[in-house]
């Protein structure tokens, strides 16, 4: 039985983690997610992706039974590498990937959310990286992405204590961009997705490329790249239409929307 549910509508693909009771990320789930990503990335109709979960959990992270079987360095590094490869792919996607955190989001679940481009959480959802309590560290990118999002001090606190925090605190420290009532979570996320699909596809993809690439290079180099990408967009038909529509005070007429 598939552990991810995929629906596509209005240029938006929704991937729902469906592995009761806690939507854990075992190796078979990671492989399935990779296949689902293949499908949505190759589908030209899809412009935005939403990832969410079923039940009380968004995702409880790696399967503890698989962790228990990791008894040598090579196996552990290989296990971590598989998760990192998937999450790197999510982070580098040309299509914006939004995550709707519907419930408990810990360990690999939070690392999955950190790889997504926009994070929206249901009020009360708990988030954390508890690996230290198992004598481990986050292995799917958490030690690298969390400091980039919330700063080194807060990331160290969360990783070294293994304690979780509620969505409201996650919003305060910038871990998520919005917190909404649970019953409004999907609708709110879909509103953001619809705003993105209404923008020019080339501009959206280029903006993601600029944001993503800036993490790994000095500011001066990032600014040069931004200027180059800005220049490329100046000659696109999408830019010409958007500027004309603004000046003429009318709605956009993108051919593919």
pLDDT value of residue 231: 87
28: which 2 tokens? 């078979």
> Is 63 or 165 the better-scoring residue by pLDDT?
165
Rounded average pLDDT over 206-212 = 92
Q: Which residues are catalytic?
A: 111, 131
pLDDT level of residue 212 (50, 70, 90 thresholds): confident
The mean predicted confidence, pLDDT, of the chain is 93
Mean pLDDT of 105-124: 98
pLDDT at 3 over 90: no
Distance, CA of 84 to CA of 80 (rounded, Å): 6
Mean pLDDT of 211-234: 87
Rounded average pLDDT over 250-257: 74
- The pLDDT of residue 202 is 93
Q: Please list, in sequence order, all residues whose beta carbon lies within 8 angstroms of the beta carbon of residue 202, skipping any fewer than 6 positions away.
A: 233, 236, 238
The pLDDT, as a whole number, for residue 242 is 87
Per-residue pLDDT for 120 more than 90?
A: yes
Out of 3.20.20.10, 1.10.10.10, 3.40.640.10, 3.90.226.10, which CATH number does the structure's domain 4-197 have? 3.90.226.10
Secondary structure (H, E, C), the chain = CCCEEEEEECCEEEEEECCCCCCCECHHHHHHHHHHHHHHHHCCCCCEEEEEECCCEEECCECHHHHHCCCCHHHHHHHHHHHHHHHHHHHCCCCCEEEEECCEEECHHHHHHHHCCEEEEECCCEEECHHHHHCCCCCCCHHHHHHHHHCHHHHHHHHHHCCCEEHHHHHHCCCCCEEECHHHHHHHHHHHHHHHHCCCHHHHHHHHHHHHHHHHCCHHHHHHHHHHHHHHHCCCHHHHHHHHHHHCCCCCCCCCC
pLDDT band at 23 (very low <50, low <70, confident <90, very high): very high
Instruction: Give residue 229's pLDDT.
Output: 87
Under 8 Å between Cβ of 252 and 241: yes
Residue, of 219 and 86, whose pLDDT is higher? 86
pLDDT band at 254 (very low <50, low <70, confident <90, very high): confident
Domain ranges of the chain: 4-197, 201-247
Q: What pLDDT sits at residue 248?
A: 92
**Burial group, residue 2, by CB count within 10 angstroms (0-12, 13-18, 19+):** exposed
Tens digit of each residue's pLDDT (9 = 90 or more) over 131-179:
999 999 999 999 999 999 999 999 999 999 999 999 999 999 999 999 9
Phi and psi based region of residue 249 (left: phi greater than 0; alpha: psi -120 to 50; beta: remaining) = left
Higher pLDDT, 207 or 230: 207
């Amino acid at each position: 039985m598939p552990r991810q549910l995929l629906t596509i509508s209005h240029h938006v693909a929704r991937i729902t983690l469906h592995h009761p009771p806690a939507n854990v990320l075992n190796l078979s789930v990671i492989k399935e997610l990779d296949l689902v990503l293949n499908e949505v990335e190759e589908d030209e109709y899809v412009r935005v992706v939403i990832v969410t979960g079923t039940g009380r959990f968004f995702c409880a992270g790696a399967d503890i039974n698989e962790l228990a079987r990791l008894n040598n360095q090579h196996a552990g590094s290989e296990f971590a590498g598989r998760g990192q490869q998937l999450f790197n792919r999510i982070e580098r996607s040309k299509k914006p990937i939004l995550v709707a955190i519907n419930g408990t989001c810990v360990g690999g679940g939070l690392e999955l959310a950190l790889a997504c481009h926009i994070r929206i959480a249901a009020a009360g959802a708990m988030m954390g990286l508890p690996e230290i309590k198992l004598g481990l560290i986050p292995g799917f990118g958490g030690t690298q992405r969390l400091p980039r999002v919330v700063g080194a001090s807060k990331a160290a606190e969360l990783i070294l204590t293994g304690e979780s925090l509620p969505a409201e605190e996650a919003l305060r420290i910038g871990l998520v961009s919005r917190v909404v009532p649970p019953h409004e979570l999907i609708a709110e996320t879909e509103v953001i997705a619809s705003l993105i699909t209404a923008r020019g596809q080339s501009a959206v993809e280029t903006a993601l490329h600029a944001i993503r690439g800036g993490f790994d290079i000095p500011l001066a180099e990032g600014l040069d790249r931004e200027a180059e990408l800005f220049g490329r967009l100046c000659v696109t038909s999408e830019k010409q239409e958007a500027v004309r529509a603004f000046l003429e005070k009318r709605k956009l007429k993108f051919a593919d929307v």
